[in-house]
Amino acid sequence: MIYLDNAATTGKKPEIVIKSVNNALRTMSANPGRGGHTLSNRASEAVFEARQKVAKMFDADDDRVIFTPNCTTALNIAIKGVINSGQGIVISSLEHNAVTRPTVTVNKKGCPVKVAEVIFGDADATLRSFERSIDKNTAVVVCTHASNVSGEILPIEKIGALCKDRGITFIVDAAQTAGVLPISTKKMNIDFLCIAPHKGLYAPMGTGILIANSEIHYPLIEGGTGVNSYSLEQPSDYPERLESGTVNLPGIVGISAGIDFVNSKGTGQIYLSELALIERLYNGLSKISGVILYTPKPQKNKYVPLLSFNLRSMPSDMVAEKLSLMGFAVRAGLHCAPLAHKRMGTIDGGTVRVSTGVFNNINEIDAFIRAVSKIKK
Amino acid sequence: MAKKGGDNMNQNFAITGTVTYAIKGRDALRRHGYKAQLKRTVNSIEGAGCGYGVITNCKADIIEVIFNKYGIKLLKIVEHGVEG
């Protein structure tokens, strides 16, 4: 199987991640931050080490690194945890359902929601769109760093500056970019950064990270934290305030190893090599008649390494099914992002999405192009 | 290299509450040349319940300065053996 569904999760995990997860289960299988025995302390140390690595990579304070079950949970904690009834929220027109669905819920609780149109290929126009959508009632802006459908990178540094200027909480969905593009939560004025480490950081599935630079007023999950147990109220100290229940120790150790892996390759280098494969794919597909491409040729710093396409003569899910039978893993349909498909004009049937990872190579891309050409015939 | 504070390891117990602060506190004390070890505190804080802290040979007033420097929350300092 040639795996080209890395935007869903990086399919092949580095050996260092696999070994680290295995080692965690063998040598520190205890509850971190709970017991006082050697194994528990060893587990606590491993979790703290991971926090430090995440904090360094995303320019944040280590006690503000929260480990969650996935990026969706991180987004829910942030969105539902900061907004009060009556306050307004602005989201982009490329958001994933991980953002839109919690937003619909807060809307039902009396929070008006506005959608800022993303203008493809024009970051300044997109910024102006956010400026127009924000009003005096806006308390929160939620924005994806890059679309999981079109691959377009949004100008989050500029939007972050705008939010800071207006005193608005800024939440960023970095599911497609963390580990792929450099992110500084401080320079970009990000209050809450939501990360899918099982994607660009090559960690195991079932892991997520929330970097909470600002206060969460209403924790989504409350319960045991291993400290302050007499109190019936949730503690105010971070990260424990947002980490009730046993954390995913093997997964967190996997995140730690994944960061080491990405750092050893260099974030920029991984991005460039993956993007080069997408450019090659774009060139190849654009020569096949009947292939519909929805973006200009992906360029550095404008797109993350993924590409959506369709065949004029066949629904996207049928194309993906045929490709699967030929040994290729891709994702078809709406990619849990109906807003983005509506914006792209592909809401009826979606697209076939190809997304590269660090382990893909030119031969695999060429084989994929040949396979699409064969299906087309 | 000789550690600051002499050989008396069990001088003070700096109670932080969370294990995150305890590890950060331990590392900060070690960076300043003191001996420091992570320790679980059970019911050591009246009315608060479980938590973590650092056993160290550092004097109480210096612990406060170091923790303050690194933004580490400190709940209380007790002589080790009296509480915890």
A38-57 vs B19-31: helix axis angle to the nearest 10? Answer: 80
**Interchain proximity A228–B24, CB inside 8 Å:** no
Residue of A nearest to B44 (CA): A228
pLDDT tens profile A118-133: 999 999 999 999 999 9
Residue of B nearest to A36 (CA): B40
Element (H, E) at A257: helix A249-265
pLDDT value at A39 more than 80: yes
Chosen domain end from A225, A244, A264: A264
Q: How confident is the model at residue B46 (pLDDT cuts 50, 70, 90)?
A: very low
Evaluate whether residue A50 is within a structural domain.
yes
Which residues numbered 23-62 in B keep a CB inside 8 Å of some CB on A? 23-24, 38-40, 42, 47-52
Residue of A nearest to B51 (CA): A227
Question: Do A291 and A190 share a structural domain?
Answer: no
Give the C-alpha separation, B27 to A63, whole Å.
14
Q: Which residue type, as a one-letter code, is found at position A192? A: F
pLDDT tens profile A271-282: 999 999 999 999
Quickly list DSSP for A349-376: T-EEEEE--TT--HHHHHHHHHHHHHHH
**Interchain proximity A230–B38, CB inside 8 Å:** no
Collect all residues of chain B within an 8 Å Cβ-Cβ radius of residue A61.
71
Collect all residues of chain B within an 8 Å Cβ-Cβ radius of residue A39.
none
Predicted interface score ipTM higher than 0.90: no
pLDDT tens profile A65-119: 999 999 999 999 999 999 999 999 999 999 999 999 999 999 999 999 999 999 9
pLDDT tens profile B7-26: 555 589 999 989 999 999 99
Question: Do A332 and A219 share a structural domain?
Answer: no
pLDDT at A68 (0 to 100): 98
Evaluate whether residue B17 is within a structural domain.
yes
Domain of B61, CATH number, reads 3.30.70
Of A321, A330, A364, A275, the C-alpha closest to A4 is: A330
Collect all residues of chain A within an 8 Å Cβ-Cβ radius of residue B47.
230
Q: How confident is the model at residue B3 (pLDDT cuts 50, 70, 90)?
A: low
| Pick from A33, A226, A231: CB nearest B48 | A231
The arithmetic mean of pLDDT across residues A46-75, rounded, is: 98
Chosen domain end from A264, A287, A308: A264
Domain of A165, CATH number, reads 3.40.640.10
pLDDT at A377 (0 to 100): 77
Question: Do A323 and A279 share a structural domain?
Answer: yes
Element (H, E) at A261: helix A249-265
Selection from A77-81, A295-299, A310-314 with the highest mean pLDDT: A77-81
**Contact between B24 and B70 (Cβ < 8 Å):** yes
pLDDT value at A202 more than 60: yes
* A12 DSSP assignment: S
| Pick from A63, A228, A230: CB nearest B20 | A63
Question: How many structural domains does chain B have?
Answer: 1
Tell me the shortest Cα–Cα distance from B7 to chain A, in angstroms: 23
Evaluate whether residue A338 is within a structural domain.
yes
Mutation pick from A228, A231, A249 vs chain B, by most beta carbons of B within 10 Å, is A228
Question: Do A191 and A84 share a structural domain?
Answer: yes
| Pick from B20, B40, B47: CB nearest A36 | B40
Phi, psi dihedrals of residue A348, rounded to the nearest 5°? -90, 90
pLDDT at A36 (0 to 100): 85
Q: From residue A34, how far is each of A67, B28, B40, B52 by CA, in Å?
A: 16, 22, 8, 9
pLDDT at B79 (0 to 100): 83
Q: Which residue type, as a one-letter code, is found at position A110? A: G
Collect all residues of chain B within an 8 Å Cβ-Cβ radius of residue A237.
17-18, 20-21, 73
Evaluate whether residue B5 is within a structural domain.
no
| Pick from A41, A61, A227: CB nearest B18 | A227
**Contact between A144 and A167 (Cβ < 8 Å):** no
**Residue B3 bridge partners (DSSP):** none
| Residue B17 vs residue A259, higher pLDDT | A259
What is the domain range of residue A140? 15-264
B19-31 vs B60-69: helix axis angle to the nearest 10? Answer: 110
Evaluate whether residue B61 is within a structural domain.
yes
Collect all residues of chain A within an 8 Å Cβ-Cβ radius of residue B18.
33, 225-227, 235, 237, 240
Question: Do A347 and A285 share a structural domain?
Answer: yes
Collect all residues of chain A within an 8 Å Cβ-Cβ radius of residue B52.
33, 36, 227
Evaluate whether residue B1 is within a structural domain.
no
| Residue B46 vs residue A93, higher pLDDT | A93
Evaluate whether residue A110 is within a structural domain.
yes
The arithmetic mean of pLDDT across residues A30-57, rounded, is: 94
Of A19, A9, A74, A7, the C-alpha closest to A257 is: A19
**Percent above pLDDT 90 for chain A:** 96
Question: Is there a cis peptide before residue A204, judged by omega within 30 degrees of 0?
Answer: no
Q: How confident is the model at residue A298 (pLDDT cuts 50, 70, 90)?
A: very high
pLDDT value at A288 more than 60: yes
Question: How many structural domains does chain A have?
Answer: 2
Question: Do A227 and A289 share a structural domain?
Answer: no
Q: Which two tokens stand for residue B65?
A: 């300065």
pLDDT at B42 (0 to 100): 67
pLDDT at A323 (0 to 100): 97
Question: Do A176 and A40 share a structural domain?
Answer: yes
**Contact between A135 and A293 (Cβ < 8 Å):** no
Question: Do A156 and A198 share a structural domain?
Answer: yes
Q: From residue A161, how far is each of A64, A78, A123, A299, B19 by CA, in Å?
A: 21, 19, 14, 24, 34
Collect all residues of chain A within an 8 Å Cβ-Cβ radius of residue B73.
237
A202 phi-psi bin (left φ>0, alpha ψ -120 to 50, beta other): left
Question: Do A271 and A146 share a structural domain?
Answer: no
CB burial of B47-71 (b: ≥16 within 10 Å; e: otherwise) equals ebbbbbbbbbbbebebbeebbeeee
Q: Is the dihedral of CA A269, A297, A146, A204 positive or negative?
A: negative
**Percent above pLDDT 70 for chain A:** 100
Collect all residues of chain A within an 8 Å Cβ-Cβ radius of residue B50.
226-229
The arithmetic mean of pLDDT across residues A362-375, rounded, is: 97
Chosen domain end from A210, A239, A264: A264
pLDDT value at A329 more than 80: yes
pLDDT at A207 (0 to 100): 98
pLDDT at A188 (0 to 100): 98
pLDDT at A227 (0 to 100): 85
Give the C-alpha separation, A124 to A288, whole Å.
33
Question: Do A177 and A68 share a structural domain?
Answer: yes
**Interchain proximity B49–A45, CB inside 8 Å:** no
| Pick from A45, A229, A239: CB nearest B49 | A229
Evaluate whether residue B62 is within a structural domain.
yes
The arithmetic mean of pLDDT across residues A251-273, rounded, is: 96
Residue of B nearest to A35 (CA): B40
| Pick from A36, A45, A238: CB nearest B23 | A45
Interface A-B: count of C-beta contacts within 8 A? 63
pLDDT tens profile A135-161: 999 999 999 999 999 999 999 999 999
Average pLDDT over chain A reads: 96
Question: Do A202 and A57 share a structural domain?
Answer: yes
Residue of B nearest to A233 (CA): B48
What is the domain range of residue B30? 12-79
The arithmetic mean of pLDDT across residues A204-217, rounded, is: 98
pLDDT at A43 (0 to 100): 95
pLDDT at B69 (0 to 100): 96
Domain of A273, CATH number, reads 3.90.1150.10
pLDDT at B9 (0 to 100): 56
pLDDT value at A354 more than 70: yes
Q: How confident is the model at residue B83 (pLDDT cuts 50, 70, 90)?
A: very low
Evaluate whether residue A5 is within a structural domain.
no
